[in-house]
């Protein structure tokens, strides 16, 4: 959950929206280790009309989130978003039987919500990770719409150096397939780099969207060195992105470094 102070400070880091290619269009967040924090941070940074939603599941919107909220069946939800002409930020989702969670809108409806809601920016949580630090997608993940302009795959620097298990990794079995790591082995920068660069990893279902990977939770010098090594290796493995952002997205000044090709 994002601290209220981050929403109150409207003069946060300049250029964050440009760095993440999030000034306009549809931006999707995948992976693990800070999707909601990053999503809410970019919404707070934007000065226009912003939509916040999901195509997966999402925890109940935080009480301190300064947004108008709608949770309803998709047809009624679309009507509510269309008729709301006053709100700057609208958070919307469909009901879920899962306790403490909302369900997502359908992929087919994303462009209609974008247009009918007259959003300058539509931010979408397009993955679930059960609060883990790293994940690899299953066969039907992540649900990214064809109209996505930017995809931000996220991993946590806190995962590097830990022995692979379900305690910190979501779908560890898929991580073994995508990265080559074995259960119980330490997750190294080379494993995380493979995940970020893999067509069946962080690049899955990104289509023609811009990709801006984020290594989050770079909390100290040691994690910064490991994250930098990860980013440098990832950039040698793919040409789908030109830089990787290293950050602490809960900080007032979140960007630690940007590693370019």
Q: What are the backbone dihedrals phi and psi of residue 138, each rounded to the nearest 5 degrees, phi first? A: -80, -175
Predicted pLDDT at 193 = 98
| Measured distance CA(27)–CA(194) in Å, rounded | 23
| Measured distance CA(186)–CA(163) in Å, rounded | 4
pLDDT over 90 percentage in the chain:
95
**Higher local confidence (pLDDT), 106 or 14:** 106
Over residues 165-178, the pLDDT tens digits come to: 999 999 999 999 99
Token pair, residue 218, equals 């770079």
Q: Are strands 210-211 and 150-156 parallel, antiparallel or unpaired?
A: parallel
Residue 12 — very low, low, confident or very high, per pLDDT cuts 50/70/90?
A: very low
Contact 56, 143 (CB under 8 A): yes
Q: Given a cut of 80, is residue 11 above it in pLDDT? A: no
Predicted pLDDT at 164 = 98
Residue 10 — very low, low, confident or very high, per pLDDT cuts 50/70/90?
A: very low
| CA-to-CA separations, 235 to 125, 143, 148, 177, 243, in angstroms, rounded | 25, 24, 22, 20, 7
Question: Taking residues 254-259, what's their average pLDDT?
Answer: 98
Predicted pLDDT at 9 = 39
Predicted pLDDT at 1 = 37
Q: Given a cut of 60, is residue 6 above it in pLDDT? A: no
| Measured distance CA(15)–CA(20) in Å, rounded | 9
Predicted pLDDT at 39 = 98
Q: Given a cut of 50, is residue 161 above it in pLDDT? A: yes
* Burial tier of 130 (Cβ tally within 10 Å: 0-12, 13-18, 19+): exposed
pLDDT over 70 percentage in the chain:
95
**Higher local confidence (pLDDT), 85 or 14:** 85
Mapped to the 3 state alphabet, what secondary structure does 16-66 carry?
HHHHCCCCCEEEEEEECCCHHHHHHHHHHHCCCCEEEEECCEEECCCCCCC
């Amino acid at each position: 959950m994002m601290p209220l102070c981050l929403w109150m400070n409207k003069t946060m880091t300049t250029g964050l929206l440009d760095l993440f290619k999030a000034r306009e269009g549809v931006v999707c967040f995948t992976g693990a280790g800070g999707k909601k924090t990053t999503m809410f941070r970019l919404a707070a940074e934007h000065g226009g009309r912003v939509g916040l939603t999901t195509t997966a599941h999402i925890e109940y919107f935080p009480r301190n989130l300064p947004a108008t909220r709608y949770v309803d069946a998709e047809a009624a939800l679309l009507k509510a978003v269309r008729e709301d002409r006053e709100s700057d930020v609208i958070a919307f989702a469909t009901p879920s039987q899962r306790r403490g969670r909302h369900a997502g809108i359908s992929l087919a409806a994303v462009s209609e919500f974008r247009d009918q809601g007259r959003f300058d920016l539509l931010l979408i949580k397009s993955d679930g990770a059960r609060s883990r630090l790293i994940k690899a997608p299953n066969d039907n993940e992540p649900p990214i719409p064809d109209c996505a302009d930017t995809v931000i795959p996220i991993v946590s620097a806190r995962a590097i150096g830990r022995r692979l298990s379900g305690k910190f990794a979501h779908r560890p079995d898929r991580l073994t397939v995508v990265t080559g790591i074995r259960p119980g082995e330490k997750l190294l920068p080379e494993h995380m780099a493979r995940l970020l660069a893999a067509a069946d990893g962080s690049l899955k279902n990104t289509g023609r969207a811009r990709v801006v990977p984020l290594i989050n939770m770079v909390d100290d010098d040691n994690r910064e060195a490991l994250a930098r090594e990860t980013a440098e290796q990832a950039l040698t493995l793919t040409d789908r992105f030109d830089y990787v952002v290293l950050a602490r997205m809960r900080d007032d000044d979140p960007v630690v470094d940007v590693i370019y090709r």
